[in-house]
Amino acid sequence: MKLQTQRWIDRWVGQLLCFKLSLWAHFFAPNVEGKVAHEPKHILVILLSEMGSVVLAGPMFAALRQRYPSAAIHLLQLKKNQEVARLLGLARPEHLHALDDSAGLGLLADIWRVCRSLRALPLDAVIDCELFSRISSLLGYLSGAPLRVGFTAHTQEGLYRGSYINRAIPYNPYQHITLQFLSLVDALDDASMPRNKAAPIRALPTDTGLRVDFDVAELRAYQQKMVADAPALAGRKVVLLYAGGGLLPERAWPAEHYAALARGLCSAGHAVGLIGLRDDAALAQSLRTQVASDRCIDLTGYTRSIRELLMLFHACHLLVTNDGGPGHFASLTPIRTLVFFGPETGRLYGPLGPRASVLEAGVACSPCLSAYNHRLTFCDGDNQCLKRLKPIPVLREALLFLNQHDAASPP
C-alpha cells in the first residue's frame, strides 16, 4: 500500500474509529485497570514504524527486562521489519507478532487475525510506541490488555488517538525519542498525571544496550569475500555511502553532493562503496558515472540481510548516510558514522553512541517533519536544509577521521 494512502486512511478513518472506540470504552466497557494488582507478567510492545526505531528502543527493552525480569515481552511489528527483532533477540520467537501491510484488503484481514491472536494471550499491559499511527492505538485497545500505555497530545493539535489509553504520557517534541520510550516504561508503575512528571531524570543513553555477536573468523571471511568480489577495495580504507532516501526522499542529501564527496575520497586514495537496496541501483550507477573512478564500487543489493549489513559495517571504516535505518544499525558495530538530518532532527532521532556525528544546517524551516503534520513536508522537494550542507566540509571531516587510522586496517 502506498505511503500516501496509508496517511489518508490513518488521518480520516483512523480518527473516526478511535473516536467511536473511545465512546464504547467510556459507556460500555468497565474500568479494567484495577485488574492488574501485581506487576505485569505479559507485556505487549507495539512498534510498527521504521526499522531504525527498533534500535532506538533498545534502552526501553533493557528497562523492561530489568524492572520486570519474570515478564514475557511480546512484540507486534510490521512483517517487513521483523528481521531486526529476531536478529537482536528482542523477544522469544513465539512472542513475535507480525502485521502484513503489503496489500489493502490483505491488511484488513491481517488486522482481524492479529486482534484474535492478541486477545487469546493473557496480556497485562500494552506499550504503544507509535506517535501518529491510529492503527497501533486501536490494536492496543483491541488486544484486551487492561493497562494501555501510549502517547497523548493533551491539548495540542493533531495526534488524536482516542481517550482509552489509561496510562497516557504527553508526547514531548523536544526530547529524544529514546528518552520518551523510557517514559512509557515508567508509566506502567505510575498512575499520576501527567504520567511522566514523576519519571526519573535521565541523560540520553550512550549505548543502545543491543548487540549482535560475530565470530572473528566469520567477520574475517566476510571481509575476504568482499575484497574478492570488489578487488578495488583491497588495501584501502573503505567509506560506505548510503545516498537513497527510502520512503521519504526529502531526507536525502543531494546526489551531486554525494558524487563530489566520493570524488574527493577516491582522489585521496580511499575506496567508496555505494550501498542501498536493489531499488537504489540506478542512483548508484549515476553516481559512479559522475565519480569516474574504479575505486567507487556499486554495493547496492550486495547484503542479503541485516546481519550481512552489520558484517559489512564491521569490514569498513566510515559510513556517510542519510537519516534512516543504516545510521542506527551502524551503532551496533564499531564503524564511525556521519548522518545527515534536516527534515527531521538528530536531537530527536539521532543514533545513540559516541561513534555517530549528526550533520545539520539549522535553517529556519528545519525540522519540518513531525507527528503533528503526518510527516508531510512543505518544501516540495527543495530540501534546502540538506542542500546547504556542502560537500567540502563533509569531505574534510571524513578525511580527518580516516587519517587517524592505519591504512587498510578496519576499526
What is the predicted pLDDT for the residue at 411? 43
| Percent of the chain whose pLDDT exceeds 90 | 72
What is the predicted pLDDT for the residue at 200? 82
* Mean pLDDT value of segment 91-101: 93
Spell out the domain ranges in the chain.
3-187, 216-400
CB 6 within 8 A of CB 107: no
Backbone φ and ψ of 376, nearest 5° = -105, 115
Q: Is the pLDDT of residue 397 over 60?
A: yes
What is the Cα 206 distance to its own chain's centre? 17
Flag the least confident range among 1-15, 322-336, 359-373: 1-15
Q: Nearest to residue 127, comparing CAs of 74, 69, 52, 200?
A: 74
Residue 292, phi-psi category: left (phi > 0), alpha (psi -120 to 50), beta (remainder): left
Mean pLDDT of the chain, nearest integer: 90
Supply the DSSP symbol for 302: -
Q: Is the pLDDT of residue 164 over 50?
A: yes
Residue 217 CB partners (closer than 8 Å, separation 6+): none
Q: Three-state DSSP class for 139? A: helix
Q: Which tops the pLDDT comparison, 248 or 197?
A: 248
Give the burial string for 289-323 (b: 16+ CB within 10 Å, else e). ebbebebbbbbbebbeebbebbbbbbbbbbbbbbb
Domain spanning 3-187 has what CATH number?
3.40.50.2000
* Mean pLDDT value of segment 77-83: 92
Q: Is the pLDDT of residue 156 over 60?
A: yes
Identify the band that residue 102 occupies on the pLDDT scale cut at 50, 70 and 90. Answer: confident
Q: Is the pLDDT of residue 364 over 90?
A: yes
* Mean pLDDT value of segment 192-221: 86
Identify the band that residue 369 occupies on the pLDDT scale cut at 50, 70 and 90. Answer: confident
Identify the band that residue 374 occupies on the pLDDT scale cut at 50, 70 and 90. Answer: confident
Q: Is the pLDDT of residue 391 over 80?
A: yes
Q: Is the pLDDT of residue 73 over 60?
A: yes
Strand arrangement, sheet containing 72-78:
96-99, 72-78, 42-46, 125-128, 147-152, 167-170
What is the predicted pLDDT for the residue at 12? 84
Q: Three-state DSSP class for 78? A: strand
Identify the band that residue 406 occupies on the pLDDT scale cut at 50, 70 and 90. Answer: low
Q: Is the pLDDT of residue 380 over 90?
A: no
Fold classified for 216-400: Rossmann fold (3.40.50)
Q: Which tops the pLDDT comparison, 125 or 410?
A: 125
CB 369 within 8 A of CB 201: no
What is the predicted pLDDT for the residue at 407? 44
Q: Which amino acid is at 385?
A: C
Tell me if 3-187 shares its fold with 216-400: yes
Flag the least confident range among 12-16, 55-59, 136-140: 12-16
Identify the band that residue 381 occupies on the pLDDT scale cut at 50, 70 and 90. Answer: confident
User: Rounded to whole angstroms, how far apart are CA atoms 44 and 215?
Assistant: 32
Identify the band that residue 408 occupies on the pLDDT scale cut at 50, 70 and 90. Answer: very low
Task: Quote the cell numbers at residue 128.
Answer: 504503544
Q: Is the pLDDT of residue 157 over 80?
A: no
Task: Quote the cell numbers at residue 374.
Answer: 503526518
Strand arrangement, sheet containing 356-359:
296-298, 271-275, 238-242, 318-322, 336-340, 356-359
* Mean pLDDT value of segment 119-141: 92
* Mean pLDDT value of segment 10-32: 85
What is the predicted pLDDT for the residue at 315? 97
What is the predicted pLDDT for the residue at 36? 56
* Mean pLDDT value of segment 253-268: 98
Identify the band that residue 197 occupies on the pLDDT scale cut at 50, 70 and 90. Answer: confident
Residue 248 CB partners (closer than 8 Å, separation 6+): 343, 369, 375
What is the predicted pLDDT for the residue at 35? 55
User: Rounded to whole angstroms, how far apart are CA atoms 131 and 366?
Assistant: 19
Identify the band that residue 172 occupies on the pLDDT scale cut at 50, 70 and 90. Answer: confident
Q: Which tops the pLDDT comparison, 31 or 261?
A: 261
CB 249 within 8 A of CB 381: yes
